[in-house]
Amino acid sequence: MSKKKILQIITRSDWAGGQKVLFALVYGLKQYYSEEYDVEVACGKFDGQLIPELEKIGIKVHLIENLIREISPLKDIKAFFEIKKLIINGHYDVVHLHSSKAGFLGRIAAKMLKVPLVVYTVHGWWPIEQYKGLKRKFIILIERFAARYCDKIVLLCQRDLQKAKSWKIGKEDQYVIIPNAIIPEPPAEKGTLRKELGISDNVKIVGNVARLDPRDVIFLFSRYMSIASRTT
């Protein structure tokens, strides 16, 4: 029996939530179902940690040169045709999309090419919730339109499902809830971080469990300085 071919597409290759979910899926397929599935990944710039992590486990990664997060009509059109060409050449049985830009372009391209199964995972509704008024309504309309071009919409929790329903994005038979899995890692030796950063034992370390985007750095830095001033 021939293997099923799966293509996972995401916009960026950094090491944030969506990329970690993608990696967990790819790792599981490679580790436990390699006799049944061949899985490949495609993304924009090869400048993030996702790429070396995938290379470590022997996953083929395709560059979609014009796929970027920012809205750029010319680049978006080019990225759409890059994705179409990749799908045509790859003869995939499943195309699984992650992130808003890749999700929009990839769903339409895959359905136009009659890929048997097209899946879109929603990694939270931040692309909608960051806006208000007309911008939010416009993004909701885009998501409604794109939902017509996939078979399944994977949501990470019941709350995201309720939001999808309230915004009329997708239909009942498309929804699937698959909570994020926790991938266990071996415990690090005490003091490892201090050694890596060259920090002495008498210096306090403030931790943050989150992704740092440029727009967040100034706010978080000011909060940390405020906390630090109260502890000195």
**Length of the chain in residues, anyone?**
232
Q: What is the DSSP string of 46-106?
A: S-STHHHHHHHTT-EEEE-TT--SS--HHHHHHHHHHHHHHHHHHT-SEEEEESHHHHHHH
Distance CA 26, CA 39 (A): 7
Which domains are assigned to the chain? 4-177 (3.40.50.2000), 192-231 (no CATH)
pLDDT digit string (tens) for the chain, length 232 residues: 689 999 999 999 998 889 999 999 999 999 999 999 999 999 998 888 899 999 999 999 999 999 999 889 999 999 999 999 999 999 999 999 999 999 999 999 999 999 999 999 999 998 899 889 999 999 999 999 999 999 999 999 999 999 999 999 999 999 999 987 765 555 667 877 788 778 888 888 877 776 666 555 555 555 555 555 555 5
Q: Residue 113 carries which DSSP code?
A: T
Residue 14 half-sphere exposure toward CB, CA atoms < 13 A: 9
Which two three-digit tokens encode residue 16?
A: 């944030």
pTM of the model: 0.80
Closest CA to 158 of 143, 136, 176: 176
